Amino acid sequence: MNKKTLAILGLGSQTTLYYISELNRMFNLKHGGYSTCPFILLNANFDAINSLLPNTSKELSRLTQVCIQDIEKLDTAHILVPNITLHETIDQLSVKKNILHPIHLTASKIKVQQHAKVILMGSEYTMNSAYIRAIFNLKGIDIEIPTAEDRLQIDVFRRQVYSKQETKAQIENYHNIIKKYTAKNPVVLACTELSIFKPKDNNKLFDMVDIQITAAINTL
């Protein structure tokens, strides 16, 4: 097996399928023809993990460590985990392979582009969590979050996408919220459900999923 082959930890059907679709699409754009992204998928029982998210805990660490140990047995160098929130737990584990970390990768990209302040959009938990804020602050990047009213709308939309019940009006409202905030500062998306329906033409939008997938393709 080629050591450069990517390993993906499958976590939730909709999220994992979105990652796979984007990996294949972006890999094909880069290589052309009928090329598809080479990877190995190890599908975990997401129900057990998801029931413990978003908070860190000993039990969540134990379950995640088992998944990481299983995926590290594969003959690969890099691991892609399609769940941004779970990386807070992964940071506390013993990991021998390279984790393609969406938060560190995004912070580095923002730092290179010399942005000193960003607006964070994700779940209500993520937007209020100190975890991402601390990583960005180490890079000299300040994080602000939307107003309480906008946070509620974002989180409701995220939940609707997760349950596949989003409406056209909700998507348009979500795009308008992003447009409002990117008028002053870059916006960072830290939720896969928000990535799925993000606007395609906003160059002040940093999508952690896109950045993570781009890094994965560049390792191959």
The helix/strand/coil state of 215 is helix
**Using an 8 Å Cβ cutoff, are 35 and 25 in contact?**
no
Task: Evaluate whether 202 touches 119 at the Cβ level (below 8 Å).
Answer: no
> Can you list the residues of the chain whose pLDDT is less than 50?
1-2
β pairing state of 187-189 and 142-144: unpaired
Tell me: do 10 and 94 sit in the same domain. yes
Residue 54, domain CATH: 3.40.50.1860
Answer yes or no: do 185 and 158 share one domain: yes
What percent of the chain has a predicted confidence (pLDDT) above 90? 94
Instruction: Pick the closest to residue 9 from 92, 97, 122 (CA basis).
Output: 97
Are residues 90 and 164 part of one domain? no
Is 107 a member of any domain?
yes
Say if residue 127 is in the same domain as residue 86: no
Residue 15 lies inside a defined structural domain of this protein: yes
Tell me: do 110 and 200 sit in the same domain.
yes
**Do 87 and 163 lie in a common domain?**
no
Domain residues for the domain of 145 are: 103-207
Exposed / middle / buried, residue 32 (Cβ in 10 Å: 0-12, 13-18, 19+): exposed
Domains contained in the chain, number: 2
Domain-located, residue 1: no
Give yes or no: residues 67 and 81 share one domain. yes
Task: Say yes or no: 74 and 115 in one domain.
Answer: no
**In the prediction, which pLDDT does 75 show?**
87
pTM comes to 0.93
| Phi-psi map region of 38: left, alpha, beta (phi>0 left; psi -120 to 50 alpha) | beta
pLDDT score at 4: 67
